[in-house]
Amino acid sequence: MRTTVVDCASCGAPMGEALGRLGAGALVPCLYCGALLRFSPDSAEAVPNVERRLDPALTARARDAALRGGRAEAIALCVNLGGVDHAAAAAAVDDIVQHIAHRAVFSQTLNGIGWLMVAGALGLAAVGVLCLALPTGNTLVGLLLLAAAAPPLFALARGVRTSLEFAIAARGVGLIRRAVDVGPTGFSDGCNVFALAIDVTPDGGGEPFHARLVVPVRPTSRERIQEGKRLGVRFRDGGAWIRSDGDREVG
């Protein structure tokens, strides 16, 4: 049985270990693009084949159900896609929830520790570049430093972008209409991903709008992330979310 993490052969979306856990011959749906994937039974590589395309409407419904926290509903919809058994459907649903959880965690604004990690990685990269550029530099050391700096910079890049956007984003008040516990983030005990539907009233009398937000929530913040609560929020042009503005609870 394979345990290799693979990507969708059609759209490149991460599939986690769904195909690997189920082994060769299993059919697993990609809930991003609707491809039905299968390992070639005689292939030694963890490369899935696209068996066929699934109904895009049903695929979207299964994906949306998974992100609403409706795991059983999402699995049932996957089974109804045709040719997908319960184990494969469960693996696909769990993988997309985990991927969304990871994206939610790394898309948050950086705290002090995050910025220190970025600064340290940039410092390593700068020294590595100097080692490669200077005539007296050590090429091997330079390459090793760049290799050490790359993973944290890649992992924190989305958080850096969010932090910069958040610093200049508009403020408003958000009324939580719906809060669904999607599942654990997998990074720390008790920290779960919540899918929120919020009505936003911009500060200064702007046009109200509705927005959706997927955020990691620690146990200490669960009480504030409930239906009917009002929170200070920040947003970009067009209503695209950045994250809750946690320092401004409003009622």
- What is residue 44's predicted lDDT score, i.e. its pLDDT? 44
- What is residue 24's predicted lDDT score, i.e. its pLDDT? 60
Please indicate, yes or no, whether residues 173 and 161 belong to a single structural domain of this protein: no
User: Where is the domain boundary, 87, 105, 123?
Assistant: 105
Please indicate, yes or no, whether residues 204 and 161 belong to a single structural domain of this protein: no
- What is residue 6's predicted lDDT score, i.e. its pLDDT? 62
- Within a domain: residue 4? no
Please give the Cα distance from 70 to 6 (Å, whole number). 25
Kindly state the helix (H) or strand (E) to which residue 38 belongs, with its residue range: strand 35-39
- Within a domain: residue 58? yes
Contact (CB, 8 A) for 166 and 109? yes
Number of domains the chain contains: 3
- Within a domain: residue 3? no
Block means of pLDDT (10 residues each) for the chain, 251 residues, are 56 62 70 76 59 81 78 84 78 77 73 90 94 87 93 87 82 85 68 81 83 79 85 70 44 33
- Within a domain: residue 11? no
- What is residue 2's predicted lDDT score, i.e. its pLDDT? 37
User: Where is the domain boundary, 66, 88, 105?
Assistant: 105
* 81 Cβ contact partners less than 8 Å away, ≥ 6 residues apart: 29, 36, 54, 55, 58, 59, 62
Please give the Cα distance from 61 to 69 (Å, whole number). 12
Structural domain for 222, as ranges: 169-249
- Within a domain: residue 184? yes
- What is residue 148's predicted lDDT score, i.e. its pLDDT? 94
- What is residue 47's predicted lDDT score, i.e. its pLDDT? 61
Please indicate, yes or no, whether residues 163 and 180 belong to a single structural domain of this protein: no
Among residues 57, 44, 52, which one has the least CA distance to residue 84? 52
- What is residue 38's predicted lDDT score, i.e. its pLDDT? 77
- Within a domain: residue 2? no
Q: What is the pTM of this model?
A: 0.56
Please indicate, yes or no, whether residues 97 and 41 belong to a single structural domain of this protein: yes
Tally: H helices and E strands in the chain: 6, 8
Residue 180: beta bridge partners? 195
